[in-house]
Amino acid sequence: MKNSNTADRASRASDPILQHQPFLEIRDLSARFTSHLGELDALKYVTFSLQRGEFVCLIGPSGCGKSTLLRIVAGLLAPSTGEVRLRGKLQTQPSNKVGLVFQDPTLLPWRTVHKNVALPLELAGKPAATIQERVSELLGLVGLSDFEDEYPANLSGGMAQRAAIARALAQDPEALLLDEPFGALDALTREVMSAELLRIWERTKRTVLMVTHSVEEAALLSDRVVVLSARPGRVIDIIPVPLSRPRSPRLLSTERLQATAQRLRDALGCDNGVCADLQECGSVQLAA
């Protein structure tokens, strides 16, 4: 299983067509919702793209449509206008090519860690031997091999989120969407999980689009950061992160990372008091 996955990823990477087009493309995306209060524009003509293996973070004021955008990319919501393409193909419904991790791990409490991670493979009708091999590989990747028979109620927040990431990777998705996965964790656990995510990304090289409410977390993890405006969310800046890899949380206190974090604050208008009450201006160490 492991060798076939590696060969498949190598085949995708060597495709000459894919090398000349965005891997994941969000084009002119808008989202409008109707409720008893009337119509609400969540997103307006959002356009950006990701290259294969790129790690991109998405930041913006609360309520600007970040989570809505991820759900559209995952095929869970339909956009009002625009489109999402993965490897040039239109994405309109959920697919095993795209994995999604929510802020809440959403593990099934009656299934063990092993069985939670195995669930997507079971639903896909994979053979038992294949499931066992893949789950064992993923639990090793996220550092949960010793807890495969434990139930979610007995896991720490960080362990539960690692199990959720393993489950999202179960079917070897080409893109991984992370919707503020560490937002509910305490400050120390959040820093540890940032290091874990960097380690997992270095090993898998998945294309990642992640929502975060911390400019320092975005600077630490990303190759580029897409900045959205207040609702309706529009792309107001795309900022590259000029830090070499591999990275670790030790970079958080360096001038180089702090300079990027300040650029993100400036793009959000934090110095003008526009987002003074938002978590985006906070640091990873202080974030809840």
**pLDDT tens by residue, 246-274:** 999 999 999 999 999 999 999 998 654 44
Domain residue ranges in the chain: 22-108+178-281
Gap between the Cα atoms of 222 and 211, Å rounded: 11
Question: What does the pLDDT read at residue 82?
Answer: 97
Cis peptide, bond prior to residue 232, ω within 30 of zero: yes
Q: What pLDDT was estimated at residue 36?
A: 80
Residue 36: other Cβ atoms inside 10 A: 4
Note the pLDDT tens digit of each residue in 104-161.
999 999 999 999 999 999 999 999 999 999 999 999 999 999 999 999 999 999 999 9
Pair of tokens at residue 250: 């030790």
Integer Cα distance of 252 and 182 in angstroms: 16
| pLDDT band at residue 282 under the 50/70/90 scheme | very low
Mean pLDDT over 51-56 rounds to 96
**Average pLDDT of span 8-37:** 72
Residues 35, 72, 82, 61: what is their CA dihedral angle, to the nearest 10 degrees? 70
Q: Which helix (H) or strand (E) holds 90?
A: strand 89-90
Mean pLDDT, the chain, integer: 87
Q: What is the mean pLDDT of residues 77-97?
A: 94
The CA-based angle 281-286-217, given to 5 degrees, is 60
| Residue range 158-178, pLDDT digits in tens | 999 999 999 999 989 999 999
Tell me the sheet residues that pair with 87. Answer: none
Percent of the chain residues past pLDDT 90, beyond the cut = 75
CA distance 229 to 59: 9
What's the Rg (C-alpha) of the chain?
19
According to the model, what pLDDT value does residue 8 have? 46
The CATH number fitting domain 22-108+178-281, selected from 3.40.50.720, 3.30.420.280, 3.40.50.300, 1.10.10.10: 3.40.50.300
Position of tokens 């989120």?
A: 161
Whole-number pLDDT of residue 78:
94
pLDDT(1) > 60: no
pLDDT exceeds 90 at position 184? no
